[in-house]
Amino acid sequence: MAQTSVDSSATEQPKPLRILIIGAGIGGLTAALALRQQGHDVQIFESSKLAQETGAAIHLASNANGLLRRLGLDAEAIGGVECVGVVEYIPQTGAVKYQIDTAKMGKMWQHPWHLVHRAHLHSALKEMATGSEGKGQAAKLHVASRVQTVDAKNCTITLEDGSTVQGDFVVGADGVHSRARTSIPGGDKQPFDSGKSAFRFLLPTDVLSSDPQTAEFISKTGYLTMWIAEDRRLIMYPCVNNTMMNFVAIHPSKESEADITGAGWQETGSKARMLEIYKSFAPSIRAILEKADESKLKVWQLLDMEQMPSFIHEKLAVIGDAAHPFLPHQGQGGGQAIEDGVALAAVLPMGTTPADVKERLQIFEECRYERAHKIQSFTRTAGMDTAELAAKGEKLDMMVYMAYNFGHDAWDYATNALQKHLKSKDKSLRFRSPIEFGAAPGPRRPLCFHPNATKLNALRQKTPETSRTYSIKFRTSRTYLQNLLPAGFAFTSPATAVSATISCTTLDGMAWLAGGGYSHLGLYIHGINYTKRDGSKVFGTYLPVLFENLADPIITGRDELGMPKLFADIDVKENADKDCEIALSWRGTTFGTFTLSDLNEETPVANGEQSSAPVQRGPGPPPPPPEQGTFFYRYVPAVGEPGKSDVEYPVLAPKPEADAGTEFPKSFATKTATISLRAEDWQALPTLHHVSEWLAGMPIYGVEEAKLVRSTGVTDLSGARRIE
Ligand SMILES: Cc1cc2nc3c(=O)[nH]c(=O)nc-3n(C[C@H](O)[C@H](O)[C@H](O)COP(=O)(O)OP(=O)(O)OC[C@H]3O[C@@H](n4cnc5c(N)ncnc54)[C@H](O)[C@@H]3O)c2cc1C
């Protein structure tokens, strides 16, 4: 039976991972912020100078908004407007087709749906990830640092200037035209035109409200507004504290392809062409398009891509558009990049070692692959023209899509997946009812697996675990005690007088109880053997009952070891290692009193030995075989079947081995000791009277020895096993 030892590795501070992120878009910055908050050392390499504000507005639906809030970013603080409704107009007439109050629907979701300017979100994320404020060490941002290649195995990135940087883990967040993606086998996917392109522009809200033709469209604040025709649509929503309206005009690519030269997000669109493309729309809608500032009008192809075979390889993970480029039809591109970044951080908490990274990325992939692709597939369907939907037999069910998209928390999901994984790997974890809350802390759970391991081990080193055991060994009746023993157990000696010990231990400084302690008192019957099925015998001391004055060790001991523990109050009154009086009671009814007087210090005994074994000299019966440990009998009643057990078997807790690292115990002995056991009725001891009656009936023929043993280091009985 081993002493609970301190794992020195648990006292070392865990080391942060060195994480290299390629791309400072929304995905890369979210990952940087979340990983920084986990305590890691993060560097971001961004190809651009990040000098100009780019893009227009972006959706932060409940699923993304909740994650940003968790990271400390409030959409309201960056001008986010809550989306309270959706309205669709008939494009040709401008009349309302339908209207939904999403704020009411929003009650179903944990977090609101916000509409924010992409540049405001981007700069807030950048500040939080790289600024001096906030949890963890600021991520280091390298701008104008284009990454050319990634060596996923050696975690090395090579920049355009030929320099290399090595880390413990690489995140490819380099967008739809990702270089990192090509380092994943089968990842050399090329994005392709989905068949649709989009004009993007912003207009001040008051420009629209001051024109009677367009004022109606913004009469309700916080609305996502759509004009959907057969193969083209116009989407409008507010941002920047409702002072700006964001427009996305999605149309067949071939109609604007003359404007697209390949400049990506910065391509400038032609207003005349936009008006031509939307010529079938009602004049009131065209009046909106007329107001666009051509110098700021952007147009880009909406790119799609074949599914990646995997988002991970070796120590590289790709996230956001690099892993799964999104069409804009559900406003989930940014949201999924945010989910990716947060999920990555969730599976890489502080304490993750470089060697753990590969398997953690597997968990990341399990959390993200199916969900990102499912939302991509919903998005493709949501963008289909009416004819295409009919031809493909697809059904559009936005409510189903929204429920799936919005009702997910990527942090909780990934954290839970990590916990499940750790549980499946960690054979030291103990589970006791209730199991729903995860593994149970307790005396036999090594502290190195405990989230507070460092603090607990420090406490343990500062305040050692100590025990003080008062024991009175006495002669008693073999026949009286024999009746108590379960089948298979017997006294080894044929003598009619046998020995038993009442032993009371007070434990202090117990690390698993955060430095607290408790007392236990038990009856130990010596000279017992158990005959196994093959006829061989095991020798030991039998423990029929152990009283304890704290629920926690009773529960852990009964559940994990099968020990016969019961609750009782144990009052130990000591006088400087000289005298002691112990009272065993329950709610004021004392049913056992034990005294030891005139204790005197003995010469030190070998560590781990409670008493020296008698040495056989001269003629007489052979000495009893050495005892191998303590026996007890596990019994678990069956639910709903009175009188039956779910399981019952004998257990042996082997004797502790001498531990070179612990001090020799101090031992004090006396011949002056008393035992007084009283039978109490069911009214005084409603749940213990049967035990008290049995104990009080036990004859006491005389005290053999009485002792106090003080020692440091407490056994956790983790060696206890079924005998067979
Ligand atoms: C300029 C721009 C404007 C956008 N505007 C909108 C918008 O208005 N509304 C909307 O819904 N979505 C917009 N998007 C798309 C949306 O932001 C993304 O779908 C989503 O946020 C995914 O983010 P991401 O971080 O995966 O990729 P991105 O946002 O594309 O970010 C990728 C980053 O990686 C950098 N990068 C690329 N290659 C390398 C390399 N080799 N080495 C280092 N860095 C590299 C890029 O410069 C970029 O900063 C825009 C994206 C961009 C880049």
CA distance 102 to 443: 51
Residues 670-678 have a mean pLDDT of 97
| Strand residue runs (E) in 35-142 | 41-45, 57-60, 81-82, 85-89, 96-100, 114-117, 140-142
Whole-number pLDDT of residue 616: 40
pLDDT at 447 over 60: no
Q: Which atom of ligand 1 is nearest to the CA of 29?
A: 25
Q: What number is the average pLDDT over the span 473-486?
A: 94
Which run of H or of E encompasses 505? strand 497-510
The better pLDDT of the pair 347, 392 is held by 347
Distance CA 307, CA 370 (A): 11
| Six-digit token string for 593 | 């009193």
- Of residues 507 and 455, more confidently modeled: 507
- DSSP string spanning 263-328? -GGGPBPPHHHHHHHTTTS-HHHHHHHHT--GGG-EEEEEEE-PPPS-SEETTEEE-GGGTS---G
- Phi and psi for 63 in degrees, rounded to 5? -65, -35
CA of 636 to the centre of ligand 1 (A): 60
Does pLDDT of 460 surpass 60? Answer: yes
Answer whether residue 269 shows pLDDT above 90.
Answer: no
pLDDT at residue 12 in the model: 59
Tell me: pLDDT of 187 over 90: yes
Which residue has the least CA distance to atom 11 on ligand 1? 58
Query: Which pLDDT score, from 0 to 100, does residue 494 have?
Result: 83
Confidence check: pLDDT of 8 > 50: no
pLDDT range class, residue 129, cuts 50, 70, 90: very high
By C-alpha distance, which of 367, 453, 348, 381 is closest to 410? Answer: 367
317 vs 55, more confident? 317
As a whole number, the mean pLDDT across the chain is 90
* Annotated catalytic residue, options 36, 118, 179, 200: 200
- Helix, strand, coil % over all residues of the chain, rounded to 5: 30, 30, 40
Of 120, 126, 174, the residue with max ligand 1 atoms within 8 A of its CB, to mutate for a pocket test, comes to: 174
Question: What's the CA-to-centroid distance between 325 and ligand 1, angstroms?
Answer: 10
Averaged over 426-434, what is the pLDDT? 83
Among protein residues, the one with the nearest Cα to ligand 1's atom 10 is: 58
Greater confidence (655 vs 16) lies with 16
At 106 the pLDDT is 60
What DSSP element (H or E) covers 468? Answer: strand 466-477
**In degrees to the nearest 10, what's the CA dihedral of 126, 129, 133, 135?**
160
pLDDT at 246: 96
Q: Which of 118, 181, 223, 237 is the catalytic position?
A: 237
Distance (Å, whole) CA 66 – CA 45? 27
- Which atom of ligand 1 lies at the shortest distance from residue 200's CA? 8
Question: Which has the closest alpha carbon to 88: 257, 284, 233?
Answer: 233
The per-residue pLDDT for 6 is 36
Q: What tokens were used for 145?
A: 């640092």
Q: Confirm if 261 and 216 have CB atoms less than 8 A apart.
A: no
| DSSP β-ladder status, 192-204 and 298-304 | antiparallel
Provide, rounded to the nearest whole percent, the portion of the chain with pLDDT above 70.
Answer: 90
Task: Give the distance (Å) from ligand 1 centre to CA of residue 385.
Answer: 26
Note if 634 is an active site residue.
no
Q: What is the pLDDT of residue 4?
A: 35
Tokens of 638: 């069956």
Q: Mean of the pLDDT values across residues 78-86?
A: 94
Please report, for residues 624, 629, 630, 715, the alpha-carbon distance to residue 538 in angstroms, rounded to integers and kept in the order given: 12, 9, 10, 21
Q: What pLDDT is attached to residue 614?
A: 41
- Calculate how far, in angstroms, residue 175's C-alpha sits from the geometric centre of ligand 1: 5
Helix, strand, or coil (residue 719): coil
Q: Is 3 left (phi over 0), alpha (psi -120 to 50) or beta?
A: beta
452: helix, strand or coil? coil
| pLDDT at residue 263 is higher than 70 | no
Spell out the residues 6+ positions from residue 123 whose beta carbon is closer than 8 angstroms to its own.
53
**DSSP states of 205-228 as a string?**
HHHHHTSHHHHGGGSSTTEEEEEE
417-439: buried (b, 16+ CB within 10 Å) or exposed (e) per residue? bbeebeeeeeeebeeeeeeeeeb
When pLDDT is cut at 50, 70 and 90, the band that residue 603 belongs to is confident
Ligand 1 environment, Cβ below 6 A: 22-28, 45-48, 54-56, 58, 118, 146-147, 173-175, 179, 200, 265, 320-322, 326, 328, 333-334, 337
Q: Is the pLDDT of residue 399 over 90?
A: no
Do the beta carbons of residue 137 and residue 37 sit within 8 Å?
Answer: no
Instruction: Provide the pLDDT for residue 109.
Output: 81
pLDDT of residue 650: 98
The residue type at 377: S
Strands 169-172 and 316-318: parallel
Nearest Cα to Cα of residue 177 among 53, 303, 56:
303
The pLDDT confidence band at residue 57, using thresholds 50, 70 and 90, is very high
Collapsed DSSP state (helix, strand, coil) of residue 600 = strand
Q: What is the mean pLDDT of residues 285-307?
A: 94
Q: Tens digits of per-residue pLDDT, 358-397? A: 999 999 999 999 999 999 999 999 999 888 888 988 888 8
Taking the C-alpha atoms of residue 318 and residue 445, their distance in angstroms, rounded to an integer, is 36
What is the percent of the chain where pLDDT is above 90? 74
pLDDT over threshold 90, residue 63 = yes
Find the 337 Cα to ligand 1 centroid distance in Å.
10
Mean of pLDDT values over 661-688: 90
Q: Give the containing element (helix H, strand E) for 93.
A: none
Q: Inform me whether the pLDDT recorded for 609 exceeds 80.
A: no
Cα distance between residue 25 and residue 238, in whole Å: 22
**pLDDT given for residue 557 in this prediction:** 97
326 Cβ contact partners less than 8 Å away, ≥ 6 residues apart: 332, 333, 336, 375, 376, 379
Residues 228 and 274: their CA atoms lie apart, in Å, by: 15
User: Which pLDDT does position 402 carry in this prediction?
Assistant: 86
pLDDT, tens digit, 9 for 90 and up, residues 552-588 = 999 999 999 999 999 999 999 999 999 999 999 999 9
Could you give the CA distance from residue 702 to residue 715 in angstroms, rounded to a whole number? 30
For residue 51, pLDDT beyond 50: yes
What would the pLDDT profile of 96-120 be if each residue is shown by its tens digit? 999 988 767 666 788 999 999 999 9
**Is residue 237 among the annotated active site residues?**
yes
**Predicted model pTM:** 0.77
